[in-house]
């Protein structure tokens, strides 16, 4: 049992590619069980940040703590993370059920447990009737749901979703949003990136906006409105005001604690 208040803590996180600083001194605290939206223009540094949180990309500086553990010092902490990349790699030659068993095996889950968990997840995803069909024959929305199911097979406490609703039609997008809510209701912390601000307004407890690698603001939508002194603003208006070329809005971060 972990009694940390925050599931994810990024502490002065930095990433340089050669001379280019993609992520600059980023500090974020993500509350347990919350849905946290991480926004920014193309190239702002969102995927770079997520890759540092999964252990795929070594930070140039700073720390990533998952459930209080530094994932770069203690690899076990990475097992608490489920990750859906922006372009998920699926085992298209397997059936839905077989793929979940296979991924369960990669996490060292006993086969019987993986079978039960796979059936439960396929039910949750509305894919039970397609469990024995090949993934290559699935629609984009079904494939995206399979990627989420695979990320959840080991019951992670933290789920990282990189642009998970990209390219989905309204129905598939609705199903994925309902799934995200359900996962969070079950206590999993969800950290997501998206360019679709309606999704953020509907789902997110906390919003952070990154601009050119720098955190501009974080807080609830109400807190963001208050910090930018735009009491009736939509998230889109706030986003545009903070990420324009003039870069107004400063780097004042509104913390929810
Ligand atoms: N391996 C790399 N080498 C050099 N530069 C890189 C590398 N990966 C990313 N970058 C640069 O780092 C910056 C941040 O990229 P990143 O992919 O993190 O942005 P993003 O916010 O996820 O963008 P998008 O919304 O388009 O996915 C970009 O300028 C990108 O070109």
- Nearest-angstrom CA–CA distance, 138 and 240: 36
Q: Please give the pLDDT value at position 219.
A: 96
Which atom of ligand 1 is nearest the CA belonging to 18?
4
State if residue 43 touches ligand 1 by the CB under 6 angstroms criterion.
yes
Which atom of ligand 1 is nearest the CA belonging to 15?
12
Q: Does the ipTM surpass 0.90?
A: yes
State if residue 44 touches ligand 1 by the CB under 6 angstroms criterion.
yes
State if residue 190 touches ligand 1 by the CB under 6 angstroms criterion.
no
Question: What is the DSSP secondary structure assignment for residue 137, as one 8-state letter?
Answer: G
Q: Could you list the mean pLDDT of each consecutive 10-residue stretch along the chain, which spans 257 residues?
A: 80 96 97 96 95 95 95 86 92 96 94 95 92 95 92 95 88 88 94 94 96 96 95 95 66 46
The model's pTM is: 0.91
**How far is the first Cα of the chain from the last one, in angstroms, to the nearest whole number?**
22
3-state percent helix, strand, coil for the chain, nearest multiple of 5: 40, 25, 35
* Ligand 1 centroid from CA 47, angstroms: 7
Q: Where do runs of H (alpha helix) occur along the chain?
A: 46-54, 96-106, 111-124, 140-152, 170-185, 197-203, 221-228, 235-243
Q: Please give the pLDDT value at position 245.
A: 62
**The domain 6-243: what is its CATH number?**
3.40.50.300
Question: Token pair for residue 31?
Answer: 């509350």
**Contact yes or no for 249/240 (Cβ under 8 A):** no
Q: Please give the pLDDT value at position 3.
A: 59
Which residues, 6 or more positions from 30, have their beta carbon under 8 angstroms from its beta carbon? Answer: 6, 7, 8, 9, 36, 189, 191, 206
Nearest to 85 by CA among 130, 148, 174, 168: 148
Q: How would you write 171-228 as a 3-class SS string?
A: HHHHHHHHHHHHHHHCCCEEEEECCCHHHHHHHCCEEEEEECCEEEEEECHHHHHHHH
- Nearest-angstrom CA–CA distance, 228 and 160: 28
Nearest CA to ligand 1 atom 2: 17
State if residue 48 touches ligand 1 by the CB under 6 angstroms criterion.
yes
Q: Please give the pLDDT value at position 13.
A: 98
- Nearest-angstrom CA–CA distance, 133 and 208: 39
* Ligand 1 centroid from CA 48, angstroms: 6
**Contact yes or no for 11/27 (Cβ under 8 A):** yes
């Amino acid at each position: 049992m972990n009694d940390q208040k925050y599931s994810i803590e990024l502490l002065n996180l930095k990433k340089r590619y050669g001379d280019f600083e993609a992520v600059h001194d980023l500090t974020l605290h993500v509350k347990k069980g919350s849905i946290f939206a991480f926004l920014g223009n193309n190239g702002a540094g969102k995927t770079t940040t997520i890759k540092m949180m999964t252990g795929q990309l070594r930070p140039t500086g700073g720390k990533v703590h998952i459930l209080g553990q530094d994932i770069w010092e203690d690899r076990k902490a990475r097992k608490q993370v489920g990750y859906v990349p922006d372009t998920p790699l699926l085992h298209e030659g397997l059936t839905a059920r077989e793929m979940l068993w296979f991924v369960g095996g990669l996490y060292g889950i006993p086969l019987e447990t993986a079978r039960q968990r796979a059936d439960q997840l396929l039910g949750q995803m509305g894919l039970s009737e397609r469990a024995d069909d090949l993934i290559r024959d699935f629609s984009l929305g079904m494939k995206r749901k399979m990627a989420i199911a695979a990320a959840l097979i080991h019951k992670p406490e933290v789920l990282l979703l990189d642009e998970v609703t990209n390219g989905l039609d309204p129905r598939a997008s609705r199903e994925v949003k309902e799934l995200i809510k359900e996962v969070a209701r079950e206590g999993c912390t969800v950290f997501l990136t998206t360019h679709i601000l309606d999704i953020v307004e509907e789902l997110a407890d906390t919003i952070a906006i990154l601009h050119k690698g720098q955190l501009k603001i974080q807080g609830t939508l109400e807190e963001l409105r208050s910090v930018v002194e735009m009491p009736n603003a939509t998230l889109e208006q706030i986003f545009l005001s903070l990420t324009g070329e003039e870069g107004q809005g400063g780097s004042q971060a509104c913390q929810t604690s």
